[in-house]
Amino acid sequence: MKLKYYPYILKLKDQFTISVSSRTTTHAVMIEVQHNGLTGYGEASLPPYLSEDQSSVIGFLNKINLDSFNDPANINSMLDYVDSIAEGNNAAKAAVDIALHDLLGKFLDIPLHKYLGIHRRDDIYSSFTIGISDLKKIKQKVDAASGFKFLKVKLGAENDREIITTIRELTGKPLFIDVNQGWVDRYFALDTISWLAEKNVILIEQPLAKEKIEDTRWLVERSSLPIIADEAVQELSDLEKFKDVYSGVNIKLMKTGGIRQAYKMMIRAKELNLKIMLGCMAETSCAITAASHLAALADWVDLDGAELISNDLFKGMEMKCGALIIPNLPGLGVEKIIK
Amino acid sequence: MKLKYYPYILKLKDQFTISVSSRTTTHAVMIEVQHNGLTGYGEASLPPYLSEDQSSVIGFLNKINLDSFNDPANINSMLDYVDSIAEGNNAAKAAVDIALHDLLGKFLDIPLHKYLGIHRRDDIYSSFTIGISDLKKIKQKVDAASGFKFLKVKLGAENDREIITTIRELTGKPLFIDVNQGWVDRYFALDTISWLAEKNVILIEQPLAKEKIEDTRWLVERSSLPIIADEAVQELSDLEKFKDVYSGVNIKLMKTGGIRQAYKMMIRAKELNLKIMLGCMAETSCAITAASHLAALADWVDLDGAELISNDLFKGMEMKCGALIIPNLPGLGVEKIIK
């Protein structure tokens, strides 16, 4: 089995501003695992607030030698081996995990969701993200999202209430609010949440800094809306650590290290009665499609990452009126559109 | 004020089969009320299972003389006068009521929903109706409805479970079930409802004959799904009569006698903690748009009547991804497209 990779820069359609940063690209590393004429595709997406970058991913991938593996169905041994190479490097591991799942599905001739025992559904709706922006731009984005049933709004700006008031003049659709640790004070957070709760807001993602565990616990006890961990919970061990703090968790392949770990986290979150959001980075349709096969296990889905970029490399999961059209083809069901 | 009318035959896109009948057209009477250069549009739609027909509507309209009315804002006096002409004739009365509301809105320069004190929303979704048909045709209709969030399925056929199983192979979307009095036995009904309740069905409309009051009461007490009255409840007096029998009511302008009575019924249903479905007949966008201004008061909306016909006369409320785009123009906000 052979592993190939190449760096790739995702061009964002719009400058993307969240409470802590602003940018127009996201770095990525694309990988391909080849075996007997079959190719499995994978991807590591590397937003700047994570610790990995293109060189760390490439450094990690260079340590992998799949020469001794000859059975795509032996995926767990391969993933165990990759895991054992080094701690962390979850985005790099996710890239390999995604490619190996794609290869496995093609080898077994079954779609990924079927391999995972997940029933394919057509009534799963993704939110569409409205970044922090000037009010005129926000109006344009709400218009552009008119087919979506849920909007995800980035707050933690200086004019949070003005942003929401502007959006509410345009649409009554349910909102996910993502603060990206942008609120400093727990009383301010609780007051803002109470205000938002009257405005058809469904959930609040990462309102306070991930280190503020006791403040978050205080907030969750008093909040009428579920508080979802994003930055605070990367992988399964974090879930155990914070299971009594947050109401739910945003699971992303790049954080968990891929599909195998994301699936385990979703099952564990259900056992713990935690709400599950399935999220993403800006990613091509390769990683987004991989995540979409897990979507039926989530309470809320935010898989608009490929909609945010202008240079997608793949055709895969598509959206119709905000609903995921999950491929029913072997593996991920993606097709490379730019060679 | 002058009243004009003309008969019109609505052509159905597909032969429409429910448990009691099958047809390819619906008769209607279109009306226009003119005052100082303003025109209010109205419509009576006359499906064969209602007691009115084109000649009864025209007979009723011929008795109306609006010569002495000169103030469109005086709508309640006019509607009281029309009501006093004869009992019943609710579709004919609805036509006049709709036209007078359109005229009033144009006269006051406000959209109908605003006149009614209803906030305009963009997150109200209509179901799309799948009539009883052969299984191949059902598949085509499910495909055609791919942008809709809810499907309404007509049951009361011999192969109810086969129809649902076929639909469930294609989509997991929530279903409204309309039996149109098609189930004969209450035990059969309860058994079928229990089976449906496991299949993401949201409500059951008129499962038993409207005369079977005690059987329906028995069924509602045992059903895990809400049972909605349609044929059993035409107008406000029926609502009072059946308020302790059904879980909710399907309110249609053609049954209630128009917007004024439909609004009253919705308010009364809320007081009685009854669920509200807002429905329609096959209608042009004139009557459908009139109903859409009330949609924010309903729990469930089934306003696909103009989607079912191929010779619409008006442009008005439109649907985007199943969501109602309610006009924000004076009156109904409809425009006649065929002169």
State the pLDDT confidence band at B44, using cuts at 50, 70 and 90.
very high
What digits encode the pLDDT tens for the residues B318-333?
999 999 999 999 999 9
Residues of B with Cβ-Cβ distance to A123 under 8 angstroms: 149, 171-174, 200
Does residue B37 sit at the A interface (CB-CB below 8 Å)? Answer: no
Residue from the list A123, A171, A172 with its beta carbon closest to the beta carbon of B172: A123
Q: Are A276 and A251 in contact (CB under 8 A)?
A: yes
Q: Are B134 and B155 in contact (CB under 8 A)?
A: no
Residue from the list B121, B147, B171 with its beta carbon closest to the beta carbon of A321: B147
Residue from the list B121, B123, B173 with its beta carbon closest to the beta carbon of A123: B173
DSSP notation for A183-235: ---HHHHHHHHHHHHTTTEEEEE--S-TT-HHHHHHHHHH-SS-EEESTT--S
The confidence score (pLDDT) of residue A339 equals: 66
Q: Give B296's DSSP letter.
A: G
The CA distance from B163 to B48, in Å, is 25
What digits encode the pLDDT tens for the residues B135-176?
888 888 898 888 899 999 999 988 999 999 999 999 999 999
The CA distance from A200 to A187, in Å, is 21
Q: Which CATH number fits domain A115-336: 3.90.45.10, 3.90.79.10, 3.20.20.120, 3.40.50.1220?
A: 3.20.20.120
The confidence score (pLDDT) of residue A19 equals: 62
Nearest to B184 by CA among B208, B204, B148: B208
How far is the CA of B290 from the CAs of A252, B165, B239, B276, in angstroms? Answer: 45, 35, 22, 17
Nearest to A38 by CA among A94, A83, A101: A101
Does the beta-carbon distance from B122 to A320 stay under 8 Å? no
Q: What is the dihedral angle through the alpha carbons of A32, A37, A38, A39, rounded to the nearest 10 degrees?
A: 10
Q: Are A274 and A300 in contact (CB under 8 A)?
A: no
Q: Are B26 and B7 in contact (CB under 8 A)?
A: no
The confidence score (pLDDT) of residue A14 equals: 81
What digits encode the pLDDT tens for the residues B12-34?
988 766 666 677 899 999 999 99
The distance of A277 to chain B (nearest Cα, Å) reads 20
Written as six digits, the tokens of B242 are 């059946």
Does the beta-carbon distance from B172 to A321 stay under 8 Å? no
The 10 Å CB-count burial string (b at 16+, else e) for A57-73 is bbebbeebebeebeebe
Q: What is the dihedral angle through the alpha carbons of B231, B191, B20, B28, rounded to the nearest 10 degrees?
A: 40
Q: What is the pLDDT along chain A (339 residues), one digit of tens a residue?
A: 999 999 999 999 887 666 666 778 999 999 999 999 999 999 999 998 789 999 999 999 999 999 999 999 999 999 999 999 999 999 999 999 999 999 999 999 999 999 999 999 999 999 999 877 788 888 888 988 888 999 999 999 889 999 999 999 999 999 999 999 999 999 999 999 999 999 999 999 999 999 999 999 999 999 999 999 999 999 999 999 999 999 999 999 999 999 999 999 999 999 999 999 999 999 999 999 999 999 999 999 999 999 999 999 999 999 999 999 999 999 999 999 976
- Tell which of B118, B127, B149, B151 to mutate to test the A interface (max A CBs under 10 Å): B149
CATH class of the region A2-110: alpha beta
The CA distance from A164 to A153, in Å, is 8
Written as six digits, the tokens of A211 are 């280190």
Residue from the list A123, A172, A321 with its beta carbon closest to the beta carbon of B121: A172
- Tell which of B118, B119, B123 to mutate to test the A interface (max A CBs under 10 Å): B123
Nearest to A324 by CA among A298, A310, A130: A298
B267 contact partners, CB below 8 Å, separation of at least 6: B297
Q: Give A73's DSSP letter.
A: T
The CA distance from A307 to A147, in Å, is 13
Written as six digits, the tokens of A146 are 């008119």
CA atoms within 13 A on the CB side of A248: 21
Strands A275-278 and A300-301: parallel
Nearest to A228 by CA among A187, A268, A180: A180
- Tell which of A122, A150, A169, A200 to mutate to test the B interface (max B CBs under 10 Å): A122
The confidence score (pLDDT) of residue B10 equals: 96
What H or E segment, with its residue span, contains residue B130? Answer: strand B127-130
Does the beta-carbon distance from A147 to B320 stay under 8 Å? yes
Q: How large a percentage of chain B has pLDDT more than 70?
A: 98
* pLDDT, averaged across chain B: 95
What digits encode the pLDDT tens for the residues B253-267?
999 999 999 999 999
Residues of B with Cβ-Cβ distance to A200 under 8 angstroms: 123
Instruction: Kindly list the domain boundaries of chain A, sorted by start residue.
Output: 2-110, 115-336
- Tell which of B321, B324, B328 to mutate to test the A interface (max A CBs under 10 Å): B321
What digits encode the pLDDT tens for the residues B203-260?
999 999 999 999 999 999 999 999 999 999 999 999 999 999 999 999 999 999 999 9
Does the beta-carbon distance from B320 to A173 stay under 8 Å? no
The distance of A152 to chain B (nearest Cα, Å) reads 15
What digits encode the pLDDT tens for the residues B73-108?
999 999 999 999 999 999 999 999 999 999 999 999
What digits encode the pLDDT tens for the residues B107-121?
999 999 999 999 999
The confidence score (pLDDT) of residue B18 equals: 62
What H or E segment, with its residue span, contains residue A17? Answer: strand A2-17
Does residue B173 sit at the A interface (CB-CB below 8 Å)? Answer: yes
User: In which region does residue B209 sit, left (phi positive, over 0), alpha (psi from -120 to 50) or beta (all else)?
Assistant: beta
Does residue B320 sit at the A interface (CB-CB below 8 Å)? Answer: yes
Residue from the list A121, A147, A172 with its beta carbon closest to the beta carbon of B123: A172
Residues of A with Cβ-Cβ distance to B321 under 8 angstroms: 146-147, 149, 321-322
Q: Are B51 and B87 in contact (CB under 8 A)?
A: no
Question: How many other C-beta atoms can be found within 10 angstroms of the C-beta atom of residue B198?
Answer: 8
The CA distance from B128 to B278, in Å, is 13
* Model ipTM value: 0.70
Written as six digits, the tokens of B16 are 């429409």
The confidence score (pLDDT) of residue A20 equals: 62
Written as six digits, the tokens of B9 are 């035959």
Edge-to-edge, what's the strand order for the sheet holding A300-301? Answer: A127-130, A150-154, A175-178, A201-205, A227-229, A248-251, A275-278, A300-301
The confidence score (pLDDT) of residue B21 equals: 67
Query: In degrees, to the nearest 5, what angle opens at C-alpha B280 toward C-alphas B286 and B5?
Result: 40
Written as six digits, the tokens of B320 are 């985007």
